[in-house]
Amino acid sequence: MSKLRGYKESYLKFGFVNIGGKPQCVLCGEVLALSSMVPTKLTRHLRTKHPSYQDKDIEFFETKKRQLESQKLDNPNKVRSKLS
């Protein structure tokens, strides 16, 4: 029987937030597969794609998370303004 994977708040220290049940990198926005929701795979993404950020503290990633959330909130307005 396979183990259910779920997001844990501690994954933010690897630079990931939860988006639709899948891990999303706060640095590049890439959404990984649900099967990647384990610390080893999240760490590998951070180490290989963003090596200069692997030693950043949790506050750094919290700031990036807020920036990502504000971008998501801004996108619908940009789409609406382009249509009108």
pLDDT in tens, 3-16: 557 899 999 999 99
User: So what's the pLDDT on residue 48?
Assistant: 98
pLDDT in tens, 46-71: 999 999 999 999 999 999 999 998 88
User: Which of the pair, 44 or 71, is modelled with greater confidence?
Assistant: 44
User: So what's the pLDDT on residue 67?
Assistant: 94
The residue ranges of every structural domain in the chain are 9-83
Task: Go through 8-44 and write b for each residue having 16 or more CB atoms within 10 A of its CB, e for each that does not.
Answer: eeebbbbbbbeeeebbbbbbeeeebeeebbeeebbbe
What is the residue-averaged pLDDT of the chain?
Answer: 87
Which positions ≥6 away from 56 have C-beta within 8 Å? 15
